[in-house]
Structure 1
């Protein structure tokens, strides 16, 4: 009576591993305290070999029972995919919450609202520097313009909404003004979301000069008929090293917004709230360079910005005109 070779037994055990391991993955993934990009990258790296290893191991027993083995392997792969999908949900472990005490709107967006009501295409241009371009995101899908586009399309499923990413790393108001016409106005936008001021702070440029450029730019955008929302600098270690300049920048941007009657999404205050009031570690929303946002940071920023846009559009649809309120998200 012959005995099975040890190599065959080892191979047979290996075949069962994907199906056996997948429930363990399903139990482990929700328990991880992952939020930083580094942690998510490790999780993906651990799951990917499991899915890949399931396929080549199916070949040795294909002649014995192809249907049964296909079912086992298929279930293992499906389970791994489910785990990966769950882990890919950025807000599955730490939700994206608005700042505590927030109750004010950033103002109305009449152009966008009127286009949506009329069933006409809506063009949004995200104008800015590297945090608009999405530096620090692990994929273009996770930059804020793409996350915002996905949210608005879910909210308005029958609308034709385009979000154009006009972010260019390293720039601030002087460089942006040089391409304002071609990168923004020539696209005939209905809304321009202008992220500005961070690089000026890091370069120790005069905040007053930045404010002058921004005021001129807003005037040109408004003359083209578009709504405008300003995005101020981010709360991050690199920016916080220039606290005095950053403070002046935000004050001046708010004054310009009030003068030109446009909204401001106060990114600095929102991110500060994440850390100081919601107790989220900075490394969970800022990458290792101490400046740029992580996947979660971009996603939550986009979510809150999108919520404000949806609220503003809803007010116009109801016939309520709300003036731009640059005190949005300030503590009550």
Structure 2
């Protein structure tokens, strides 16, 4: 029987996860990682020298210990007990890799609204197609890896929530665009995908390019109407709260108000990204550079993760209410612990 060491893998993964958190939250992460390191040290000290082979470069968590089912299990040694401790601590710390420690606004935000098409498909066990439509923050500019884009993070969250469902999220983000360019792509890149839900992030580049807010709103409303006519739910996502947007405060405020108005008129959802990110900074005291990269515009890995997580929470809550027959807007976002 040969034992290999899972400890380096576990502590490395936990340490890597800390890098995704803003500075004000690192202490909480350190508390989650510390028990893993302590348990690992106990197990390492308990091993005799002959039982400490060099680590294999291909070892994964699933191969942490070899087990022979044909032999009866002997009483657990100190080493085996320590290994079990590491496994249990790792399970409890597993939320680090699926949720980030971010909070919604304390007073709640406007809910995304009901999503009857998505809820109906999930209830019937049918495949669900979601299209993430937008510009560079949908495409994922500012992330360190494609897996950290908000559509990819959202997909993982929804698949964890609905493990038996066939959920596809298609990323249709293209940097630099706003409503005029997106409307040209709406049919071939969105509607032709036969989506059940379109998450439309729009308005940031309208602010940066000094586009007429009223004309932008007219185009977005037309697009929403076409998406609804195609039989899909809609969630609008307004601009991000970042220095390059807030330096044009009047234009940004107009776009945010107009998008909310469209959501009300067309009875669709809206995720108030601007409001959520402003609260991170103003009320939760997070420095701007803890969720925005050096260009002063795009979110970093943590910012995208928190955005996707809160959006996913609201989608899940809305679907749950519709499946229960409650055709009303979902309640405001509330904090969910990791």
Q: Give TM class, smaller chain.
A: 0.7 to 0.9
State the match for 1:217 in structure 2: 223
Q: Unaligned 5+ residue runs, structure 2?
A: 27-48, 65-85, 334-338
Deviation at 1:22, TM superposition (A): 5.8
Indicate which of 235, 238, 241 corresponds to 1:229.
235
Q: Which runs of 4+ in 1 moved over 6 A?
A: 30-34, 85-88
Normalised to the residue count of structure 1, the TM-score between the two structures is: 0.74
Is 1:71 paired with 2:53? Answer: yes
Judging changes above 3 Å, is the alpha-carbon distance between structure 1 residues 270 and 91 closer, same or farther for their aligned structure 2 residues?
farther
1:195·1:233 contact (CA, 8 Å) conserved in 2?
Answer: yes
State the match for 1:256 in structure 2: 262
Q: Indicate the SS of the match to 1:179.
A: helix
Normalised to the residue count of structure 2, the TM-score between the two structures is: 0.73
State the match for 1:317 in structure 2: 323
Q: Indicate the SS of the match to 1:154.
A: helix
2:224·2:234 contact (CA, 8 Å) conserved in 1?
Answer: yes
| Distance (Å, rounded) in 2 between the aligned partners of 1:284 and 1:91 | 19
CA RMSD of aligned residues (A): 3.5
Judging changes above 3 Å, is the alpha-carbon distance between structure 1 residues 183 and 133 closer, same or farther for their aligned structure 2 residues?
same
| Distance (Å, rounded) in 2 between the aligned partners of 1:140 and 1:118 | 31
| Distance (Å, rounded) in 2 between the aligned partners of 1:227 and 1:31 | 34
State the match for 1:119 in structure 2: 125
| Distance (Å, rounded) in 1 between the aligned partners of 2:186 and 2:219 | 11
| Distance (Å, rounded) in 1 between the aligned partners of 2:214 and 2:117 | 29
State the match for 2:289 in structure 1: 283
Aligned ranges 1:161-172 → 2 under 5 Å: 161-172=167-178
Deviation at 1:284, TM superposition (A): 1.1
Is 1:35 paired with 2:38? Answer: no
Of the two, which has the highest radius of gyration? Answer: 1
Q: Unaligned 5+ residue runs, structure 1?
A: 1-18, 41-66
1:29·1:87 contact (CA, 8 Å) conserved in 2?
Answer: no
Judging changes above 3 Å, is the alpha-carbon distance between structure 1 residues 119 and 246 closer, same or farther for their aligned structure 2 residues?
same
Judging changes above 3 Å, is the alpha-carbon distance between structure 1 residues 257 and 30 closer, same or farther for their aligned structure 2 residues?
closer
Indicate which of 256, 267, 271 corresponds to 1:265.
271
Deviation at 1:324, TM superposition (A): 8.2
State the match for 1:201 in structure 2: 207
